Each structure stands twice: as C-alpha cells, then as structure tokens.
Amino acid sequence: MGAWGTGCFENDDAMDWIWDLDDADDTTLLKDIFSGCIESKDYLEAPDGSIVIAAAGVVAALNGEPDEELPDGVTAYVEKIDTEPSADLKALATKAVKKVSGDSELKELWEEAGTLDEWLKAIAGLQKRLQ
C-alpha cells in the first residue's frame, strides 16, 4: 500500500521525485515543473500533480516556511541552494498549485476519498507559506 496524506511529501510520487533534487544545483528544476504544469493543455494526472505540490513544498522551505517534517533530500537541497526563492518562482509555484487544486486527477482522488476539504485546507496552508 502506498503513502497517502495531505502534506506536500506524504505520497509515493512526491517521495520518488525528491531523488531528482540530488542533482539540482539551482531552482531550474522547480521552475521547469511549474512552467510545464501551467503551460500544459493536457489533463493533469495525479503523479504530476503530486510532484507540483512537492516542488511547491520545496519552495516554501526555501522561503523559510517548511513543512513540520521535511524529508532528508529536501533538507539537503535547501541547505545546498541556501537562497530565498525569487518572487517569480513563488508566483509560478502559486499558480501551478492553484491549477492542481482546481482541476486535476489528484483533486478528484481526494474528492472520491471523501477528504477533499482536508486536502484543500492543506493546499491553502501551502499557498500561504509561498507568500
């Protein structure tokens, strides 16, 4: 059984993606994830939505507003980058998170599980930490 929780890093797709941070030396990976989400005309599948949320969680951590418990890979990345996110990066993250929470398979899965309100509350908290 896979991991499934409302936090940015509480699912298998997000945790698998964190490995990509090992090779990242700047925020380009994050920008590419957000831009790809925003620019895509395709329906956003759950794994991609989970990665957007995780990437936004990384931006929140860079912004000095991390989740209560960060995975080791995220902590290492934040320490390696050691810079606050630009206003543009925070805006991209916010826009991408809005898209995921508006129309995506991930949102539908939370709705089917009967816990959409709980997830949307977590998303609202994430968006606040991105400001």
Strand extents, DSSP E, the chain: none
Q: Of all residues in the chain, what percent carry a pLDDT higher than 70?
A: 98
Give the start-to-end residue ranges of the domains of the chain: 12-129
Residue 53: closest CA among 69, 30, 71 = 30
Q: Quick check: 9 pLDDT over 60?
A: yes
Q: Quick check: 23 pLDDT over 90?
A: yes
List pLDDT tens digits, range 69-106: 899 999 999 999 999 999 999 999 999 999 999 999 99
What's the confidence (pLDDT) of residue 1?
Answer: 35
Rounded Cα–Cα distance for residues 93 and 58 (Å): 10
Q: Of all residues in the chain, what percent carry a pLDDT higher than 90?
A: 92
pLDDT band (50, 70, 90) for residue 5 = confident
pLDDT, mean over the chain: 94
Residue 117 exposed, middle or buried by CB count within 10 Å (0-12, 13-18, 19+): exposed
